[in-house]
Structure 1
Amino acid sequence: MRFARAASARERAAFEDQRGLVREVQGMKAYLVLDLSVNDFAGFRKYIAEIPAFIAKHSGKYIVQGVQPTAIEGDWKPERMVIIEFPERENAEAFLSDPETQDLFRVRHATTTSKLVLADGCT
């Protein structure tokens, strides 16, 4: 977007602020947070063995991997927790929509009770 010479200094400053914010957000990390209970460990082993390659394919890395978290406040009581960091939201979205991961996601859905959220990190 270009401003005509008649644009006020305040309008030009607001535009520059928005451009800076867009550049900042584009480099923001994103996190997948998975809260799960394993119902069929034997069936879940396939997911455990194969999903790390797809996480790496999309430049993700484990921050927390299958630990038993300690509840501090509220009634949230996850049995197991996984947190995966991606360099940008687009990487996480590509991981989630990768056709090669869909069968593994079905394995997770069939063998666990889980909740998954995608959250943007702070810069």
Structure 2
Amino acid sequence: MEELKISWLVDVEVFDRLQFKDYLHGLNELVKEFSGEFVKEFSLPEIVEGDWRPRTLLLIFEFEDKAYFNRFKNSSQLRNLRYQFNDVASFKSVIMR
């Protein structure tokens, strides 16, 4: 059975928009290294149902499968990127098949 693609949805609260652009560029490049791709960015979400409170941005990335995503998520490169831009934004995320 073929492994299903994984969508990574990231709810972002941005504290420094200028530095966040640099972070997002680095993140996109890193995602590509792990067979992933940037899909879409949404800003200013409008709540239509429930008590979900998305923050500044919602980003969607897609990975070939969960193994690629796990390698990306556990990579030293991602840890280093997050450390470098630690005060730029905060994140909540989920993966979906």
Pairwise CA distance, 1:43:
2.9
Q: How far apart are 1:107 and its partner, in Å?
A: 4.2
- Between structure 1 and structure 2, the one with the greater Rg is 1
Number of matched pairs: 96
- Say whether 1:103 aligns with 2:77: no
Q: Distance in 2 between matches of 1:101 and 1:43?
A: 16
CA distance in 2: counterparts of 1:91 and 1:66, whole angstroms: 24
1:85 matched to 2:62? yes
Letter in 1 for 2:91: S
Structure 2 equivalent of residue 52 of structure 1:
28
Correspondence 1:28-39 to 2 at 5 A = 28-39=4-15
Pairwise CA distance, 1:111 = 1.4
Q: Choose 36-45 or 53-62, whichever is displaced more.
A: 36-45
After superposition, give the CA deviation of every residue in 1:81-116 in whole Å (9 maximum; x if it has no partner): 001111100111111112122121234542113211
RMSD between aligned alpha carbons? Answer: 1.9
Structure richer in helix, relative to its length: 1
- Residue 33 of structure 1 deviates from its aligned partner by 0.9
| Residue 74 of structure 1 pairs with residue 46 of structure 2 | no
Q: Structure 2: which 5+ runs fail to align?
A: none
TM-score, with length taken from structure 2: 0.82
Q: Which has the bigger relative contact order, CA under 8 A and spacing at least 6?
A: 2
Structure 1 CA distance for aligned equivalents of residues 42 and 71 of structure 2: 22
Structure 1 length-normalised TM: 0.67
| Number of the residue aligned with 1:15 | none
The one-letter code sitting in structure 2 at the alignment partner of 1:62 is F
For structure 1, the residue ranges without an aligned partner over 5 or more in a row are 1-22
Secondary structure at 1:33's aligned position in 2? Answer: strand
Per the TM alignment, residue 68 of structure 1 is displaced from its structure 2 partner at its CA by: 3.0
Moved segments of 4+, more than 6 Å: none
* SS, match of residue 87 in structure 2: helix
